[in-house]
Amino acid sequence: MSSDIFVELSKILVITVAITGFVRLLKQPAIIGYILSGIIVGPFVLNIIDSSDTLTAFSQIGVALLLFFVGLNLNPKVIKDVGKISLITGIGQVVFTASVGFLISKALGLSTLVSVYVAIALTFSSTIIIMKLLSDKKDLESLYGRIAIGFLIVQDFIAIGILLVISSLSNGSSLTSLALGSFLKGMGAMLLLFIFTKYIMPPVIKIIAKSQEFLLLFSISWCFAIATIFHYLNFSIEAGALLAGMTLSVSPYHFEISSKMKPLRDFFLVLFFIVLGSQMTFSNLYHNIGIIMIFSLFVMIGNPIIVMTLMGFLGYTKRNSFLAGLTVAQISEFSLIVVALGVSVGHVSNEILSLVTAVGLITFAGSTYMILYANKLYPALSNYLSIFEKKGRKVDEHKYHEKDDHEIILVGYNRIGFDILESLKKIKKKFLIIDYDPEVITKLFKEGYDCRYGDAEDSEFLNEVNFSKAKMVVSTIPLIDTNMLLINKVKEDNKKAIIAVVSHQIDDAVRLYDEGATYVLMPHFLGGKHFSTMIEKNKTDINKFIKEKMVHLEHLNRRKEAGHEHPTHVGR
C-alpha cells in the first residue's frame, strides 16, 4: 500500500515539475502550475489520484505550515511601523472590496452566507506573489513597495480575526454564543499563549537554538502542538498554526526558523494546490463563466481603483498610487484556504471553491503581467490617472533642494553610490542625489545634501530633472532599460554631459556604450582589478597588506553604520 502511494506521488510530482516549468517560462507564479497540475492529474484528465485521503492530509500540513510561516513573519511590533498610509489603505481596501464584493455576489443571485465567503476571498491579496514580484523587480525598498508591504501586513492581521470567527462558527454556533463562548475562549487561549511566549519561551528557545536540527524539530512540533490545541478548542488547525508562528515571530531566532522551514512548507503547500486543482468541478465552471469573469475583472480593475482612490485622497502621486494599486489585482492563497475551510465546515459547496479557484487562476496570471510591466503600462495610462491625483504638492515628492543648477547628478544612493558620494565631496562640485527609497532621502537631507525622491524608471519624473547644466550624470542602477532611458533623456537635454552607468553583464555594457554611455562600471570585475593593483603595489610585504586591512576595516564599519552590512540582492 505504501509503495502504491509512493508511485502515485512520484507520477504527480513529475507531471507538476513539467507543467510548472512551462508556466515559469511564461513568467507566471508557480502556484498556477501547481493548480493546473492538479487539474491534469485529477478525475477530468488523467485520473491518477487514488490515495486522496493521504494527499488531503499532506495538503492540510502544507496549509498549516504556510500559515505558521506567515505568522512567523508577522511580528506584532511591526504594526506600529507600517505608517498611516498602510493602515488606511489596508483597512480601507478590505472594507470597500468586501462590501462591493458582497453586493456583487448578492446581485448575481448567491446566498448571503456564500456571498460573505466570496467577498472575503476577493478581499485579500497574495503576500507570497507580491513579495516575489517586488523582489524580482528590486522594488521592495521603493515607496510604493513599502506601502504595499504595509497594507499586506494589515491584511494579514485582519485575516487572523476572520480565521478565528470561521473556526468558532464551525461547530454551528450562533453569533451570540460565539461572542459569549467560543470567541472569549479563543481570546483567553491567545492571551495565555503570548504570556507563555513572553516569559517562558525565551530562555527555553535559547537553549534549543544551540542545535540547528533541534531548532527545526522544535519549530515543527510547536506548530503542530498549538494547531492541535486550537483544534480541540473548536477552532481551526489553520488559526492555531498562524498564532503559533506569531508567538515565535518575536524570537531572535525567527530568521533561522524561517530559512529552515521554508523548503518543508513549499513541498507540502505544492500538494495543497494540486489537491485543490484536482477537486475543481468543470461542469459547474462552464455555467458560471460569466460570474467568474465579473469577479476576476472586479479584482483586477476594482481593487487597484480602490487603492488609487485612497492614496490619491491622502495626497500621493498618481504613479505611486498606480503601482501600489496593481499589487492588489489578484486574490490570495489565503482566499482559497478560507473557502476550503468553509467547505470543510459545511458553509459553502465545492462548486463555490472551484469558482474562487478559477478566479484565482485568472487574477494570478493577469496581475503578474500587470505588475511586471507596470512601468510600461503607466505611460500609456498616465493621462487617464490624473483623476486619482490631488492638485498641488504631493506628500511623496520629497524634494530637498531649491535651485536646479547642479554640476553632478547621482542617480541611486546605494552601496556603489556611498563611495561615489565620498569622491563628490572631495572635488567640491555642486551635486544632487536622486533615490527611490524615501528613508534614504530623508537621511541625506538631514545630513545637509541636496536630494530628492524619484524613480529613474519614471519618464515623467526624468522630465522634471534639469540635466541641461550637469557636467556629469552617474547612475548606480544596474537595470539596462532604466539606464537606456536615462542616457537618452540626458543626451536629449545635454549632449556634452559625462554619463556613467552600472551593468552586471558584458553584452549589456556594450549596448550601453553603443547607446551613448561615457563609461560603464562593472562591479563584479572591479574587485579583482583592485586586488591585482594591490599585488603590484605591495608585492608580498605583509605589513603593507595589514595597513590595507585596517583601512578596509574602517571602511566596512562606516558601511555598517550606513546599513550596508547584509546585501540580499543587487540594489537599484
| pLDDT tens profile 78-87 | 555 556 788 8
Where is pLDDT greater, at 184 or 513? 513
Query: Residue 162: enclosing H or E segment and its boundaries?
Result: helix 143-169
**Sign of the CA dihedral with 138 first, then 141, 143, and 149 last:** positive
What pLDDT band is residue 76 in, cutting at 50, 70 and 90? Answer: low
Write the Ramachandran bin of 507: left for phi over 0, alpha for psi from -120 to 50, otherwise beta.
alpha
* Residue entry with cell 501600489: 324
**Using alpha carbons only, what angle is made at residue 352 by residues 117 and 269, rounded to the nearest 5 degrees?**
85
- Judged against a pLDDT cut of 90, whether residue 298 lies above it is answered with yes
Amino acid at 193: L
pLDDT at 568: 39
Q: Which residues contact 265 (CB under 8 A, 6 or more apart)?
A: 62, 65, 66, 68, 69
In this model, does residue 186 exceed pLDDT 70?
A: no
Mean residue pLDDT across the chain: 83
In angstroms, the Cα distances linking 30 to 19, 103, 258, 334, 358 are 9, 32, 20, 16, 15
- Among 334, 332, 451, 336, CA closest to 398: 451
User: Is 500 within 8 Å of 487 (Cβ atoms)?
Assistant: no
The per-residue pLDDT for 183 is: 60
- Which of 157-161, 282-286, 441-445, 505-509 is the most confident on average? 505-509
Q: Edge-to-edge strands of the sheet including 519-521? A: 399-400, 451-453, 431-435, 408-411, 472-475, 498-502, 519-521
Cell 491622502 appears where? 314
Q: What is the pLDDT of residue 570?
A: 40
Average pLDDT estimate for 524-553? 81
Residue with the larger pLDDT of the pair 28 and 101: 101
pLDDT > 90: percent of the chain = 24
Radius of gyration of the chain (CA): 27
Report pLDDT for 306: 93
- What is the model's pLDDT at position 489? 92
According to the model, what pLDDT value does residue 512 have?
93
Contact of 78 with 153, CB cutoff 8 Å: yes
What pTM did the predictor assign?
Answer: 0.73
SS3 416: helix
- Of 460, 402, 396, the closest CA to residue 432 belongs to 402
- Catalogue the E-assigned strands of 504-556: 519-521
Q: Lowest mean pLDDT of 263-277, 287-301, 356-370, 558-572, name the range.
A: 558-572
| pLDDT value at residue 181 | 60
Collapsed DSSP state (helix, strand, coil) of residue 295: helix
Q: Spell out the domains of the chain, with CATH numbers in brackets.
A: 59-272+300-388 (1.20.1530.20), 399-561 (3.40.50.720)
| DSSP tally for the chain: helices H, then strands E | 27, 7
> What is the mean pLDDT of the segment spanning 213-225?
91
Q: Mutual orientation of helices 212-232 and 237-249 as an angle, nearest 10°?
A: 140
Overall average pLDDT of the 161-185 stretch: 61
- According to DSSP, the residues that pair with 501 across neighbouring strands are 520
Q: What pLDDT is stored for residue 201 in this prediction? A: 83
pLDDT value at position 410?
Answer: 92
Question: What is the H or E stretch that residue 472 is in?
Answer: strand 472-475
Higher-confidence residue of 302 and 522: namely 302
Residue tagged 524619484 (cell numbers): 454
d(CA 525, CA 287): 60
- Range name among 206-210, 278-282, 338-342 with the lowest pLDDT average: 278-282
Buried b (16+ CB within 10 A) or exposed e, 166-198: bbbbbeebeeeebeeebbeebeebbeebbeebe
